[in-house]
Structure 1
Amino acid sequence: MMRTTEYRGFHIHMELVRTSEDMFDLGFRIEGPMKPAGVAALGKRIKVHGGPFSQRWAHLIGELAGRAAVDVILGVEDVPPATDEW
């Protein structure tokens, strides 16, 4: 089962593989408009450990892991959070 979301110009492709009834292993890959030097895993499947997950958890965890990876590639956004965390 595949699902794709977009974040900061990159596509996060999540692949769920059924391990048992209603449980899935999760992998994701990131594709984007550029391939920065030193980023070896861009476009390659990255397995998320800690599973198996329910379908809803797998989609959430995959999107969060993908977003974190994009943030590492591009650096932090200069937009402060919507709350008073700073």
Structure 2
Amino acid sequence: MSGPVVVGVDGSASSLAAVECAAREARLRGAELRLVHAFGWSVAHVPPGAALWGPDERGLRPMVEGTLAAAEQRAHNRAPDIDDRPGPVVRRAAV
């Protein structure tokens, strides 16, 4: 069994095209597809003692979740047989 197919997503047209290619490759391999979104956030802008991902995230969580949801939909459109039944084939990870 091969490892997962991992694709980085930033919401751009080129990253969504990469999601389609990755979904097709995951389907061909019978592998898990992992969608990953990462962004830089300077701790210099976080008050001492504040959580890095808390209620004051100023829309970061919705932005990341929206980016991953769009990528997940694109993956399902390209490879409908990839789904997230128990033991998910598509995993979303926000870093």
- TM-score interval for Structure 1 and Structure 2 normalised by the shorter chain: 0.3 to 0.5
TM score, norm. by length of structure 2: 0.35
The one of the two structures with greater contact order (alpha-carbon pairs below 8 A, sep at least 6) is 2
- Normalised to the residue count of structure 1, the TM-score between the two structures is 0.37
Higher helix proportion, which one? 2
Instruction: Compare CA radii of gyration and give the structure with the larger one.
Output: 2
